[in-house]
């Protein structure tokens, strides 16, 4: 049996449709400011994708490109202005930023209720306290994908490979929260972990987010486990062509795992879709229309999973 495909592309499409319908129904005009500093080629592509997807659902998104030589204080001044602008509900500064800019200072400068990247220490603090507000988009995307395919998490052993600020750490906290959509037993492995292979072999769910091409193979996975691949790498292949691969060696994992997210078409499209749910949530909250649900519940509602 081959693993069932965790189709992030299809889920992202259905999330976008639900968001568009909600925006229309509520008569919202959510605003998203996307700031790119410099011309990092991957960032040009990512920010373009975020702008296009937001426009599709009816979010008024705006990309501002600042030159590579921008000073930290100039960027901070622009953020301060956007914090005060009532037409802007979400602010995202694409990473990486040039070396003269400290990304932590940028994260701290964005108003927490507009921090659709979930990187402000206040948002990370609320997450750790077990009362999440805005959460980073990739961890939310992984959660939405697992719920959409009804992969059980409560009481199950999840191994997260990677402890990055933007994926591994928030995701490991999120999945371990006391909540009907989480309640997992979480192990975090990182570059200094000894014997991570024996831990993944016992896991019900493996999240590969360590940033190493095709590092997780079929030998590392328990038969039937769910495997989510967060990595994306462009590597040279035969005939001078490049291939996109993840942190998972799909060919050897597919015959072993119960579920596997593909690269591309897995987590990637969801990162963008969940940026949109965060932005729409911020707009709803600022209009007093968010009700009692928080941004995580709103995201799961848009992924059509809370009603199951
Ligand atoms: N660069 C790569 N991923 C991300 C992300 O999720 N947010 C931001 N701001 N920059 C990134």
Which of 137, 151, 157, 136 is CA-nearest to residue 308? 151
95 CB within 6 A, ligand 1 = yes
Compute the distance between CA of residue 266 and CA of residue 6 in angstroms, rounded to an integer: 7
Domains of the chain from N-terminus onward: 26-111 (3.40.50.10860), 136-268 (3.40.50.720)
**Overall average pLDDT of the 175-203 stretch:** 97
Write out pLDDT tens, residues 4-24: 999 999 999 999 999 999 999
Quick check: CB of 261 below 6 Å from ligand 1?
A: no
Which is nearest to 210 in space by CA: 200, 218, 202?
Answer: 200
Residue 263 phi, psi (nearest 5): -130, 120
Q: Is 166's C-beta closer than 6 angstroms to any atom of ligand 1?
A: yes
The pLDDT of residue 308: 39
Secondary structure of residue 129 in the 3-state scheme = helix
pLDDT digits (tens, 9 = 90+) for 267-282: 999 999 999 999 999 9
**pLDDT at 307 (0 to 100):** 44
Atom of ligand 1 nearest to the CA of 166: 6
From 114, 115, 117, 124, active-site residue:
117
Q: Model's pTM, two decimal places?
A: 0.96
DSSP string, 17-79: HHHHHHHHHHT---EEEEEEES--HHHHHHHHHHHHHHHHHT-EEEEEEE-TT--HHHHHHHH
> What average pLDDT does the structure give for the chain?
97
Residue 162 annotated in ligand binding: yes
Residue length of the chain? 308
- Residue 17 β-bridge partners: none
Look at residue 111 and tell me whether its pLDDT is greater than 50: yes
Q: Is 274 in the pocket of ligand 1 (CB under 6 A)?
A: no
State in Å: Cα 238 to ligand 1 middle: 30
- pLDDT score, position 265: 98
CA distance 239 to 273: 34
Looking at residue 280, what DSSP letter applies? H
pLDDT in tens, 24-54: 999 999 999 999 999 999 999 999 999 999 9
* Residue partners of 194: CB distance under 8 A and separation at least 6: none
pLDDT > 90: percent of the chain: 96
- Measured by CA distance, the residue closest to atom 2 of ligand 1 is 95
Q: Is 169 annotated as a binding residue?
A: no
pLDDT bracket for residue 305 (50, 70, 90): low
Task: Report the 10 Å Cβ neighbour count for 199.
Answer: 18
Q: Of the ranges 59-63, 235-239, 251-255, which one carries the lowest mean pLDDT score?
A: 235-239
């Amino acid at each position: 049996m081959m693993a069932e495909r965790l189709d992030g592309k299809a889920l992202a499409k259905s999330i976008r449709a639900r968001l568009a319908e909600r925006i229309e129904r509520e008569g919202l005009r959510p605003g998203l400011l996307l700031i790119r500093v410099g011309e990092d080629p991957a960032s040009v592509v990512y920010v373009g994708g975020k702008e296009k997807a937001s426009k599709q659902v009816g979010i008024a998104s705006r990309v501002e490109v600042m030159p590579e030589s921008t000073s930290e204080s100039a960027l901070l001044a622009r953020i301060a202005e956007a914090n005060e602008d009532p037409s802007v509900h979400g602010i995202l500064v694409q990473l990486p930023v040039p070396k003269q800019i400290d990304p932590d200072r940028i994260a701290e400068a964005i108003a927490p209720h507009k921090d659709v990247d979930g990187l402000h220490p206040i948002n990370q603090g609320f997450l750790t306290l077990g009362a999440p507000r805005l959460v980073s988009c990739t961890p939310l995307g992984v959660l939405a994908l697992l719920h959409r395919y009804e992969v059980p998490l409560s009481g199950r052993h999840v191994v997260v490979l990677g402890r990055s600020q933007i994926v591994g750490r928030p995701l490991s906290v999120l999945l371990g929260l006391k909540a009907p959509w989480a309640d997992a037993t979480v192990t975090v492995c990182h570059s200094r972990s000894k014997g991570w292979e024996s831990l993944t072999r016992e896991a019900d769910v493996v999240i590969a987010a360590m940033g190493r091409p095709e590092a997780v193979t079929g030998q590392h996975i328990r038969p039937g486990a769910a495997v989510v691949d967060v990595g994306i790498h462009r590597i040279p292949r035969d005939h001078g062509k490049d291939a996109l691969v993840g942190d998972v060696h799909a060919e050897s994992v597919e015959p072993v795992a119960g579920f596997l997210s593909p690269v591309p078409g897995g987590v990637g499209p969801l990162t963008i879709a969940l940026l949109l749910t965060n932005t729409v949530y911020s707009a709803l909250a600022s209009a007093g229309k968010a009700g009692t649900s928080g941004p995580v519940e709103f995201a799961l509602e848009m992924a059509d999973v809370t009603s199951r």
